[in-house]
């Protein structure tokens, strides 16, 4: 079955939208950073800011217009959240572009301490105004070459990220997400996380440090979804068209990498995400058939 653009969109969530749809995962919405809630010894003010940030998406609803800008141009996207999904619709495409939904992602694995293992985190007290709202700045610098850096301007009161820069290892800004306008309000209905889908027929023999498997399934093709808490990556495995030779292909749109590899056993592996090429290669190398599949 050929992987369609709509399938890709459903599984691939831009970094900023990922932060806005992950359900919970922090230690307690700004709980005091004592030794029990802060086992990694992170400085108290930093821990509390990170805890607020990671908890915000599970307690707030929002509607707004998002500017996305990269080397290929810019576009505006209408985004909104509800208890059962977040949705987005491109405003600068053809008229009638359909709204696309992103199901909530459970995030029990995502805590300030888990992020600190993969990123060096720095918070600045104030970063200016975005969409009419005061913000503070959070910088996340990777501790390895497996992920990009992020500079986030976060709502000072409600702790939602309002502007995010994705930065390559050589310091190049790959993509900008920024709310042009946004309305935020407390969520009155608990977020509903969908039931787990059937397992994929494939697994990963190894997972890059800092990443966790958060979802998998087999429709319309086998797929695995991983996240390190700030970015996610999807691995699709399908039958390889006879006309496509074995080998690899790489395409970068903004911060989003599309990496494809045709294998000797007639499989096509596609890796999609805001990751460097070495990370995509590691993931493609690790794909194995599941035993008994």
What pLDDT is stored for residue 188 in this prediction? 78
Distances (CA, A) of 29 to 58, 59, 131: 10, 9, 24
CB-based contact 67:177 (threshold 8 Å): yes
- Give span(s): CATH 2.50.20, the chain: 5-186
- At 27, the pLDDT band (50, 70, 90 cuts) reads very low
CB-based contact 110:22 (threshold 8 Å): yes
42: pLDDT strictly greater than 70: yes
The CATH architecture annotation of domain 5-186 reads Clam (2.50)
pLDDT tens-digit map of 184-240 = 988 877 666 556 668 999 999 999 999 999 889 998 899 999 989 888 899 999 998
Predicted model pTM: 0.84
C-alpha–C-alpha distance, residues 75 and 93, integer Å: 8
- Give span(s): CATH 3.30.200.100, the chain: 202-289
CA dihedral 208, 209, 214, 220 (to 10 degrees): -10
pLDDT tens-digit map of 52-107 = 888 887 788 889 998 989 988 898 988 887 655 667 777 765 555 666 655 555 55
**Superfamily designation of domain 202-289:** MucB/RseB, C-terminal domain (3.30.200.100)
Secondary structure (3-state) at 101: strand
């Amino acid at each position: 079955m050929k992987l369609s653009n709509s399938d890709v969109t459903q599984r691939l969530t831009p970094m900023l939208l990922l932060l806005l749809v992950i359900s919970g995962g922090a230690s307690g919405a700004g709980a005091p950073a004592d030794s029990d809630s802060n086992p990694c010894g992170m400085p108290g003010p930093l821990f509390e800011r990170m805890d607020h940030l990671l908890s915000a998406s599970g307690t707030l609803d929002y509607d707004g217009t998002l500017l996305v800008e990269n080397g290929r141009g810019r576009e505006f996207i209408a985004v909104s959240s509800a208890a059962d999904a977040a949705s987005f619709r491109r405003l600068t495409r053809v008229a009638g572009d359909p709204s696309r939904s992103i199901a909530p992602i459970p995030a029990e694995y995502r805590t300030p301490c888990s992020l600190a293992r993969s990123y060096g985190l720095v918070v600045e007290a104030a970063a200016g105004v975005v969409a009419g709202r005061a913000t503070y700045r959070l910088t996340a610098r990777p501790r390895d070459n497996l992920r990009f850096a992020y500079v986030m301007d976060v709502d000072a009161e409600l702790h939602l990220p309002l502007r995010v820069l994705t930065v390559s290892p050589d310091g190049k800004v790959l993509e900008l997400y920024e709310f042009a306008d946004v309305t935020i309000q407390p969520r009155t209905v608990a977020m509903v996380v969908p039931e787990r889908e059937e397992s994929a027929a494939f697994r990963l023999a190894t997972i890059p440090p800092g990443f966790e498997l958060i979802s998998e399934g087999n429709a319309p093709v086998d797929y695995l979804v991983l996240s390190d808490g700030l970015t996610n990556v999807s691995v699709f495995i399908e039958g390889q068209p006879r006309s496509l030779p074995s080998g690899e292909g790489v395409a970068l749109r903004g911060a989003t990498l599309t990496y494809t590899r045709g294998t000797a056993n007639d499989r096509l592996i596609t890796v999609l995400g805001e990751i460097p090429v070495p990370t995509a290669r590691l993931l493609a190398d690790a794909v194995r058939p599941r035993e008994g599949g």
